[in-house]
Amino acid sequence: MAKGVETTVQVSRKILWVTTRVPSPPGLETMVFPLDNVARVTVTPHRPDRMRALLKFLVLMVLLRLLMILLSGGAGEAVPDVAGGVAAAVAVGLTVQLLVVVTRRSYYVLLVETTGPPFARLYSRDEQLMQRVGAAIVAALDNPQATFHYRIEHFQIGDTIKLIGGSGNTGKVNQ
């Protein structure tokens, strides 16, 4: 589940600072990028795959119906009450899953790629803010004296993985 996160993006002295206040475990995570190493800055929309969710729903409902026909013997006999109840519960679950995907809002990703492996990725539902931050970073690439400071309320997607050391890294930080 996405958790609320506050990130500060700023440029000063030809350095891009991306600092995130993480809710659990509490603390700050800072990524620092020399502007000379920034290769690309993009803002892209991320929309839920509603068509895939609808197709999955329809396929699973057809399979559920075929299973019910097989359980009834194919000759129109009544399906046992327990099997009918389980099928109804599965149908309700599939419907809820479809509604969750269909009603999910789009969000926008600000991606800062460097000439090396590190990169920064921010998610927000505010497209204009992501565009302004991306434009400010690009403007700072051309202007060594540029400075700016943005505070972004966004959310974290997925698990937080913290690696320390170079071998035997397994597991994740559960939040």
Mean pLDDT over 93-116 rounds to 89
**Which is nearest to 20 in space by CA: 107, 121, 136?**
121
Residue 111 · residue 41 · CB < 8 Å: yes
Does this model's pTM top 0.75?
no
Place of tokens 């690309």: 40
Q: Domain ranges in the chain?
A: 3-47+107-156, 50-103
Residue-wise pLDDT for 54-80, tens only, equals 999 999 999 998 888 887 765 555 666
Q: Which CATH number fits domain 3-47+107-156: 1.10.357, 2.30.29, 1.10.10, 3.40.30?
A: 2.30.29
Place of tokens 């505010």: 126
Amino acid at 92: V
**Residues 50, 133, 113, 46: what is their CA dihedral angle, to the nearest 10 degrees?**
0
Distance between CA atoms of residues 52 and 98, nearest Å: 10
pLDDT at residue 3, rounded to an integer: 57
Percent of the residues in the chain that have a pLDDT greater than 90, as a whole number: 18
Looking at the DSSP bridge assignments, the partners of residue 156 are 3
pLDDT at residue 1, rounded to an integer: 36
pLDDT at residue 94, rounded to an integer: 95
pLDDT at residue 25, rounded to an integer: 64
Q: Is 38 exposed, middle or buried (0-12, 13-18, 19+ CB in 10 A)?
A: buried
Place of tokens 């895939």: 52
